[in-house]
Structures are given as structure tokens and as C-alpha cells.
Structure 1
Amino acid sequence: MPVIPRERADGEGPMDITALPYVDEHGTEVEAPPEAVWRALGEALDGAFSGAGATAYAQLVGCADRSASGPRPPAPGSAFPGFRVAVADPGRELVLIGRHRFSTYALVFRLDPVGPRTRVRAETRGRFPGPLGALYRLLVIGSGGHAVGVPRLLAGVRRRAERDGSGRRA
């Protein structure tokens, strides 16, 4: 991944995503073209992060972005509780960034065409400073919760995109 400064979630200048430590990557193949997967990804993110629970959690940990806002499908400046869209290259890449009391993080979705299918990958990067950050990392990453949640999100993207082969609801 090239070193590209991205807007920080708090609006206080650029965030170099490549400087954030790598956490993990999950992926799946979808029986649909990248454009359909892109639409499904936006819908799945709205479904996963725009509910009352996500909003309450974003408030609890002090996220910079605490509510859903901005254009849909996601575009730079759009937000979900806990995340702001830094890069939106439709059908190719979606970069979400965020910050709260215990972490600075990025979630990078990449869509790669593989014949008639699309491989969608979700790479997580994050910094968890200090003792409270280490405890938070243990609770979120070490507990396995993140390793369950991200593949579940990707499975939702796959289901939505494959409904009729175009990503549109049948």
C-alpha cells in the first residue's frame, strides 16, 4: 500500500493510514460485478453502523463521528458512527477512518474483479495507545469479536450483491 496521507477523522489534518499498524485482513468472493458489490457494501455499512446501538457505542467511547451523515452511496466526507469516509473510489476502494479515546484506526475495503466475480477484502489498521488502548485492543481484537464481526459484515455484502446478480434487491 503506498504512503498516502488521508484526512484524519477529527478534521485536524492528514492521517497516514500506512503508519497505522496492520491488524488483520478478511475477504470473500462475490458472484457479482464490482459495481453491484460497491452498492451492497454501502448498504451493508449503513445497516451495520447506523443503528441505535452503533450510535450509543460511538458516543460511549468518544468517537469523532457519532452519527450517519453525508451522501449515499458513501463518498468522501460521508460518515457512519465511528467512521468517516476518507476515500471512495466506486467499484474499487473504500477507506473508512476513525478515532476515539482508545484508538485511531482505518478499515480499508478493496474490490478486485476476478472474472465474473469480485473479491472484496477488508483490511484493518489501528493504533491503541497506552494502557487503556491496550485493554481496548484486548477486548475488541483479542476477544475474537473483530474476527467474527468483519467476516459477518462481508457475508452481508455478499448476500446483498448476489440477490439478483446485480446488487439490486429482487
Structure 2
Amino acid sequence: MEIAALPHIDEHATVAAAPAEAVRRAVGEVLDRSLGSGLGRLLGCADRTSSGPRPPAEGSTFPGFRVVRAAPGGELVLVGRHHFSTYALIFRWEEAAAGGTRLRAETRARFPGPGGALYRLLLMRTGAHAVATGRLLAAIRERAERLR
């Protein structure tokens, strides 16, 4: 999948009062806890279970996602597909002021056909995607701050 070819949907960010290594570990731990396989089955996701090394490495999976790039220094790239969308979720982290770490989550996706258009409408117009991404980032931030 060519990630750059997927349309940019949005980007959300938070700052954790924790070092980058704690954020990297927290991303994997929170994804393991947060991504359930029930929705993945319902939507027909290609990857429906968690597998592979932890912290996540290339080839690791979470329900709905497969890791295609894991750079310990600051990036985790997840891709996925299901009946209504082909998508990427890209986490990037870098040093912030006062020893903290800025974490960003970028979403890219394509929603083909009428089913995809309806799915996009449900996710974006209702704000469900923004709420879910915000909660995910908050959980990662909180976990990283406990790990530091």
C-alpha cells in the first residue's frame, strides 16, 4: 500500500510529560489494550488479531492494523483495510520542552464506493473519529507518564 497516495484525513497531537522511550512503549501497550477484534470482524478487517513482537515491530499486528514501519526513534506506521476503507494511522513523537515528548497521530484513508462514502460520513460528520483518536492519544499520554 502506498501510504502517501492515501488522502490526508486529519492529525491530532498531545504532549506527554515523559521521555520518548516511555511514549514508544506506551503506544504499543495502549494499542494492545484498546483495539478490540469485535469491530474488526464486523467490518471485515484484513488483520483481526494481535500478533508479533512487542514493542511493535514491522509485521506486528493489532486488530484492524499491520505495522509497516517501526522506527524506535520516533515513528510507528500502521496500515489496514476493510470493506469500507483502506487506511493508515501514523504515530510520530519527538522531544518537547521541559523533557516531555510531543506525540502526533496522523490519519490517511480512502473510502471507496457508496458503502465507503456512508462509512466516511458516519466517522467524520459525527466526530466519532476525532473523539476516538483523542481518547487514544490521552490514554497513551497517561500510560507514558506512568512508565517514566
Name the TM tier (shorter chain).
over 0.9
Shift of 1:135: 0.2
Structure 1 residue 36: Cα displacement: 0.7
Counterpart contact for 1:37–1:91, Cα < 8 Å: no
Note if contact 1:63-1:99 (Cα within 8 Å) is conserved in structure 2.
yes
Partner of 1:134: 117
Are residue 25 (structure 1) and residue 11 (structure 2) matched?
yes
Q: How big is the alpha-carbon RMSD for the aligned residues of Structure 1 and Structure 2?
A: 0.9
TM-score of the superposed pair, with normalisation by structure 2: 0.96
Distance apart, 1:159 and its partner CA:
0.7
User: Which has the larger helix fraction?
Assistant: 2
Shift of 1:17: 0.5
Runs of 4+ in 1 over 3 A off after TM superposition: none
CA contact (8 A) 1:31 1:117 kept: yes
- For residue 104 of structure 1, what is the aligned residue in structure 2? 86
Normalised by the length of structure 1, the TM-score is 0.84
Structure 2 residue identity aligned to 1:138 = L
What SS is found at the alignment partner of 1:58? helix
Alignment of 1:1-170 (within 5 A): 15-49=1-35, 54-115=36-97, 116-163=99-146, 166=148
Helix, strand or coil: the match of 1:65?
coil
Q: 1:91: Cα distance to partner?
A: 3.6
Aligned sequence identity (%): 62
Describe the SS at the equivalent of 1:87.
strand
Q: Any unmatched runs of 5+ in structure 1?
A: 1-14
Unaligned runs of 5+ in 2: none
CA distance in structure 2 between the aligned counterparts of 1:157 and 1:85, rounded to whole angstroms = 17
Q: Give the structure, 1 or 2, with the largest relative contact order (CA under 8 Å, sep 6 or more).
A: 2
CA distance in 1, matches of 2:106, 2:4: 11
> Structure 2 CA distance, aligned partners of 1:145 and 1:39?
26
Residue 102 of structure 1 contacts residue 132 of structure 1 at CA under 8 Å; is this kept in 2?
Answer: yes
Other structure's SS at 1:73 match: coil
